[in-house]
Amino acid sequence: MAQLTGRPPTPSVAAQSAPETRHLKSVAVASMVGTAIEFYDFFLYGLAASLVLNSQFFPKISPLAGTLASLGTFGAGILARPLGALIFGHLGDRSGRKHVLVLTLVTAGGSTALVGLLPNYQQIGIAAPVLLLALRILQGLGIGGEWGGAVLMAAEHAPGTRRTVWACFPQMGNPVGLIVAILVLFLFNGVLSAPQFQNWGWRIPFLLSLALVVLGLVIRWRIRETPEFEQVRGARDLLKLPMATLAKNYTRSLVLGTLYSTASPAIGLLIYVYAVAIGHELLHIPTARMLDLAAAAGVGVLVAIWVSANLAEKIGRKIVSILGFVLMMAWAIPFVLLFRTGFIPPMLVGFVMFGVAVGMVNGPQAAVLAGLFPVAARYTGVSVAFQLASVLGGAVAPLALVALLGTTHELVVIGLWALILAAMSTVAFLLLPPSATGVHQQNPHSSTKRTEMGLIPSRFPAARDDATPPRPTLSTSEHGGTDRGSDDRYP
């Protein structure tokens, strides 16, 4: 006999069939590998901008100005990401997650490979940096749609009680991509002489993107569309304009989701990319040593993502995320004090600990953002919120940091900058609805309601800005069927 409950019971992992469990693992691997490839491309360019692209594409200006100019093209790719989020998010909410993820992989990976074929300034003049900028924008568009889709492929396949853990796999692709990019640069920089690497060797890591893209396509083509999207599509409840629905009903979730997600990419890019250039140019530390520190930070982020996601399933996303933000704020000033010593051992501690703080926040982050938006507009919502945060944290905030450094000439402003960003994201996180910050999300098969703009699921009622508490629904009956209320629509 069916029991009256607040929501249908969530199936456990043990209740899943063996084929479904194997497919879920394949989805998690596909999400992580694809994201790792995308961020390999992203970080490869960022690191190359600090090492070699300045002399190849901006030789007519001073070395420091050339480095800043090449990092500026890196920032242009970040600025393009929200547009990519809108384009690919719309397609993902209209046609499905799987096929759009194939498009994002080809777009970002293909543009990175073309950088390896691009003539330099000496060969084609001003056209070289212009084409470099165009390819960076194209890459930014692809990455703008990649992260949100990869997160949803994992999260929407996962059982509700394990959603935080499965959704963290795409997050781990970020540091994995960084570590692989650094290892590849180390390999070719070590095998080739300095003139060889500067003249042509730097192109090989970019061209390797083609092989990685093929690998990613093979893996992604074998996975199925997410069950939650298939339900919405089967009920013909797709939205014509997902962004319009979000703007009308989920504005607060978009704003808070963006601000909550800003600190981690800002501090992540600081320790991954910008600190490499700062340490080399201002502290005169060899680039190889700075890359060692960035790789060590990436390992710290990777381990902390996995640990924090699993811990969040036990004690809640809220507690784990707050611990991560507190560590960010507490470590902001000590990081700078260790950084400016110029000695590798204390700098290593600073980088790793900051990486752990970023990883603790990133572990539950994907599941938190997925919990803010309805299925029918989730690809758009998650992507736009995260990519706007990437612009704030990866482009706007670093420009402010450069201005502060140029004015004060004091490295301590880096710590104050990180402290302010972490505090802002903490406040935004505390204002998020409980449906997103709890131990796990609601059952993916709970009810939905029709509005004049399309399907507005009630599975995350607190995420909607004007939400009201859901009516009780009937749980699974003893015969295996589901008793559904007559007033609710099930996708």
Q: In this structure, what CATH number is given to the domain that contains residue 314?
A: 1.20.1250.20
At residue 452, does pLDDT exceed 90? Answer: no
- What whole-number percentage of the chain has pLDDT above 90? 31
Q: What is the pLDDT of residue 182?
A: 85
Alpha carbon of residue 483 to chain centroid: 38
How far apart CA 45 and CA 51 sit, in angstroms, is 10
Q: Return the SS3 of 456.
A: strand
pTM: 0.80
> What phi and psi values does residue 94 have, to the nearest 5 degrees?
-95, -40
422 CB contacts (<8 Å, ≥6 apart)? 263, 267, 325, 328, 329, 332
At residue 154, does pLDDT exceed 90? Answer: no
Residue position matching structure tokens 């924090």: 308
What is the average pLDDT across 187-194?
Answer: 80
pLDDT in tens, 310-357: 999 999 899 999 999 999 999 999 999 999 998 999 999 999 999 999
At residue 256, does pLDDT exceed 90? Answer: yes
> What phi and psi values does residue 449 have, to the nearest 5 degrees?
-130, 150
* Residue 369 belongs to some domain of the structure: yes
* Residue 160 belongs to some domain of the structure: yes
Of the listed ranges 72-81, 295-304, 428-437, the least confidently predicted one is: 72-81
How far apart CA 212 and CA 18 sit, in angstroms, is 29
At residue 421, does pLDDT exceed 70? Answer: yes
**Cβ–Cβ under 8 Å, residues 104 and 217:** no
Supply 238's token pair: 């797709």
Nearest to 400 by CA among 371, 386, 420: 420
Output helix, strand, coil percentages for the chain, rounded to the nearest 5.
Answer: 75, 5, 25
Q: Return the SS3 of 287.
A: helix
At residue 62, does pLDDT exceed 80? Answer: no
* Residue 9 belongs to some domain of the structure: no
Q: What is the pLDDT of residue 489?
A: 33
How far apart CA 182 and CA 291 sit, in angstroms, is 7
Nearest to 214 by CA among 34, 76, 46, 357: 34
125 versus 62: the higher-pLDDT residue is 125
**Cβ–Cβ under 8 Å, residues 201 and 61:** no
* Residue 472 belongs to some domain of the structure: no
Res. 257 pLDDT band, cuts 50 70 90: very high
Q: Which domain holds residue 245?
A: 20-221+241-437
Number of H helices, E strands in the chain: 23, 4
How far apart CA 260 and CA 263 sit, in angstroms, is 7
Torsion of CA 361, 364, 366, 367, to 10 degrees: -150
The total number of structural domains that make up the chain = 1
* Residue 254 belongs to some domain of the structure: yes
How far apart CA 151 and CA 157 sit, in angstroms, is 10
> What phi and psi values does residue 489 have, to the nearest 5 degrees?
-100, 130
Residue position matching structure tokens 């990401």: 81
Q: Return the SS3 of 489.
A: strand
At residue 54, does pLDDT exceed 80? Answer: no
Q: How far is CA 107 from CA 213, 287, 311, in A?
A: 10, 30, 35
* Residue 3 belongs to some domain of the structure: no
* Residue 247 belongs to some domain of the structure: yes
* Residue 318 belongs to some domain of the structure: yes
Q: Taking all residues of the chain, what is their mean pLDDT, rounded to a whole number? A: 79
